[in-house]
């Protein structure tokens, strides 16, 4: 029985951050209620289930250097459900598959003698005549690889992912992530024995994965929260946070059927998008704070999952699609993530499209998107015409919080306002903090917040996932293709600053 002195916490969202917070509060006997707008838990890390097929939004590798996160994953899921899976991914370009990370010998062999010679010539030319202004990412890459290799291995995927020309992206982000990168360094890396081979292999070539997809972790977490005395209420959005005397005192919950009720709170842990959180304050913040909330931007995402006979399966977890002629950015093979996601004799290929909510792709009907996905798979030669049996579409708004030149200031304005007017409202997670956090860092922000609430520890949660050394060297994830060819994986925990015109 929780003691009446222990604060009562309302958690907004049952994704990794919200459920981690709820788990840790419930484990310590603190009263906690979670509200989730959706009808499934897991947020962006959920498992989508359609007609018995299970798939993932992207592919969620469970990979972390944070020991308390690793420990929590293992506390939630038994080893037999938490598979250790090999990682393979390649780049598809003009009918050929290139190892990713790039290996010079494989790349040059795939290009063929003629193209390889042209690529080397273009590289040498760029060395002799490097672009004068290397402040944009394109010129920076061309100076290190030459135009031909830049076009083959960098340009298209990066542009598909972020939706702007590489020539408009600033170089400093890349320069920081892939310092000392060049073709000669890549060749040396490819032929020299690798240092710490075993450690790198264990971190990069394998990862953990729940056998029924990432949502399995969060479904188990939600059950444990309820078993420990917390509640997780689905189909229920927090639509207002009520402030009184310089603190949040209650939230309004609106159920899918339209019913509204008020729930008292000593603390509110929020993983809803930071902008929506500020806009839900009652009374509302001043106009400049609301303007900062309105000014945050996102990149959105949709996946077209196509069921095909197993003969069209491939060993990769995913393939980056660098061809210009198709819009698909990456293709996941869910059968390679876990055999439990697919059915006998078939696999499910997830075609990932990076989009903006409301754009031409986003607003297409599911039927048209499935037809487009099928046509693109056929054009790429990855399936035989007529082989796709059926398909499903999942749209994910706000998949990537965008870093533009204004986001830092906007977030700062909102943080300062919260610190003064609602110090017991705690933003956590990815969109919750407008941070390009992976699940592990989303979870860590929740863990530290719980300690702040129960132990008054005073952790600065905003310092989580601010550049750490290991990111550069040892970690990797979903945006890795943006630095394809580095031979060192990007962390995906950071992102380029996307320039935006004022106004």
Contact region for ligand FAD (CB under 6 A) — 13-21, 102-110, 146-154, 385-393?
A: 13-21
User: Measured on CA atoms in the order 42, 35, 452, 431, is the torsion positive or negative?
Assistant: positive
Residue 64 CB, shortest distance to ligand FAD, in Å, is: 7
Q: What are phi and psi of 454, to 5 degrees?
A: -85, -30
Q: Choose, by CB under 6 A, the member of 111, 369, 399, 425 that binds ligand FAD.
A: 399
Three-state SS sequence of 121-162: HHHHHHHHCCCCCCCEHHHHHHHHHCHHHHHHHHHHHHHHHH
Residue 56 CB, shortest distance to ligand FAD, in Å, is: 8
Q: Tell me which residues in 196-255 interact with ligand FAD (CB under 6 A).
A: 237-238
Q: Choose, by CB under 6 A, the member of 31, 146, 213, 432 that binds ligand FAD.
A: 432
Q: Choose, by CB under 6 A, the member of 61, 85, 267, 322 that binds ligand FAD.
A: 61
Nearer to ligand FAD, 6 or 240 (CB): 240
Contact region for ligand FAD (CB under 6 A) — 35-43, 96-104, 136-144, 405-413?
A: 35-43
Length of the chain: 503
Q: Does 77 bind ligand FAD (CB under 6 A)?
A: no
Q: Does 350 bind ligand FAD (CB under 6 A)?
A: no
357's tokens: 């909510």
Residue 122's CB is within 10 A of a number of other CB atoms, namely 18
| DSSP-derived 3-state class of residue 379 | helix
Q: Which helix (H) or strand (E) holds 320?
A: strand 318-321
State the first-to-last Cα distance of the chain, in angstroms, to the nearest integer. 54
Nearer to ligand FAD, 256 or 310 (CB): 256
Q: Does 361 bind ligand FAD (CB under 6 A)?
A: no
Q: Choose, by CB under 6 A, the member of 26, 44, 183, 380 that binds ligand FAD.
A: 44
Q: How far apart are CA 34 and CA 292, in angstroms?
A: 27
H-helix segments, 456-493? 469-474
DSSP 35: E
Q: Contact letters (x/-) for ligand FAD, 291-310, by CB under 6 A?
A: ----------x---------
Q: How far apart are CA 85 and CA 87, in angstroms?
A: 6
Q: Choose, by CB under 6 A, the member of 374, 438, 449, 486 that binds ligand FAD.
A: 438
Contact region for ligand FAD (CB under 6 A) — 160-168, 384-392, 408-416, 434-442?
A: 434-442
Q: Choose, by CB under 6 A, the member of 110, 158, 431, 449 that binds ligand FAD.
A: 431
Closest-CA residue to 213 (of 353, 22, 89, 85): 85
Closest-CA residue to 439 (of 74, 75, 63, 88): 63
Q: Does 159 bind ligand FAD (CB under 6 A)?
A: no
Q: Does 481 bind ligand FAD (CB under 6 A)?
A: no
Instruction: Calculate the CA 244 to chain-centre distance.
Output: 36
Nearer to ligand FAD, 146 or 401 (CB): 401
Nearer to ligand FAD, 218 or 314 (CB): 218
Residues that bind ligand FAD (CB under 6 A): 12-18, 35-38, 43-45, 57-61, 237-238, 271-272, 301, 399-400, 429-432, 437-440, 442, 477-478
């Amino acid at each position: 029985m929780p003691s009446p002195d222990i604060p009562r916490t309302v958690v907004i969202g049952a994704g990794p951050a919200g459920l981690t917070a709820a788990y840790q509060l419930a484990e310590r006997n603190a009263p906690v209620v979670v509200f989730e707008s959706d009808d499934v838990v897991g947020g962006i890390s959920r498992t989508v289930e359609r007609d018995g097929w299970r798939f993932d939004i992207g592919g969620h590798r469970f990979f972390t250097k944070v020991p308390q996160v690793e420990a929590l994953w293992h506390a939630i899921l038994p080893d037999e459900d938490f598979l250790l899976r090999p990682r393979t991914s390649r780049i598809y370009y003009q009918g050929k598959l290139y190892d990713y990370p790039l290996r010079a010998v494989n790349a040059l062999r795939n290009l063929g003698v003629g193209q390889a010679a042209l690529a080397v010539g273009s590289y040498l030319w760029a060395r002799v005549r490097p672009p004068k202004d290397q402040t944009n990412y394109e010129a920076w890459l061309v100076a290190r690889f030459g135009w031909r290799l830049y076009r083959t291995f960098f340009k298209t995927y990066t542009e598909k992912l972020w939706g702007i020309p590489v020539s408009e992206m600033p170089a400093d982000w890349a320069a920081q992530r892939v310092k000392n990168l060049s073709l000669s360094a890549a060749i040396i890396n490819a032929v020299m024995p690798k240092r710490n081979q075993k450690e790198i292999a264990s971190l990069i070539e394998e990862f953990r994965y729940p056998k029924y997809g990432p949502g399995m972790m969060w479904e188990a977490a939600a059950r444990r929260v309820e078993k420990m005395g917390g509640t997780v209420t689905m189909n229920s959005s927090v639509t207002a946070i009520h402030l009184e005397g310089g603190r949040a005192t209650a939230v309004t919950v609106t159920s899918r059927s339209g019913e509204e009720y008020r729930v008292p709170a000593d603390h509110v842990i929020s993983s809803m998008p930071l902008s929506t959180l500020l806009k839900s304050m009652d009374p509302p913040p001043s106009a400049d704070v609301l303007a900062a909330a309105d000014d945050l931007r996102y990149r959105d995402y949709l996946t077209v999952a196509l069921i095909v006979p197993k003969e069209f399966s491939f060993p990769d977890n995913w393939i980056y699609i660098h061809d210009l002629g198709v819009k698909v950015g990456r293709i996941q093979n869910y059968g390679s993530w876990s055999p439990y996601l697919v059915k006998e004799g078939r696999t499910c290929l997830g075609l990932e499209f990076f989009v903006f909510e409301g754009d031409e792709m986003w607003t297409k009907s599911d039927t048209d998107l499935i037809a487009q996905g099928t046509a693109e798979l056929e054009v790429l030669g990855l399936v035989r015409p007529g082989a796709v049996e059926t398909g499903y579409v999942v749209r994910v708004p706000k998949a990537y919080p965008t870093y533009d030149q204004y986001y830092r200031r906007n977030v700062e304005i909102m943080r300062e306002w919260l610190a003064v007017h609602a110090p017991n409202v705690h933003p956590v997670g990815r969109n919750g903090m407008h941070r390009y956090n992976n699940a592990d860092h989303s979870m860590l922000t929740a863990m530290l917040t719980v300690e702040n609430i129960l132990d008054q520890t005073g952790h600065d949660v905003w310092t989580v996932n601010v550049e750490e050394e290991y990111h550069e060297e040892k970690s990797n994830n979903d945006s890795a293709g943006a630095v394809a060819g580095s031979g060192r994986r990007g962390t995906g925990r950071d992102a380029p600053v996307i320039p935006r015109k004022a106004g």
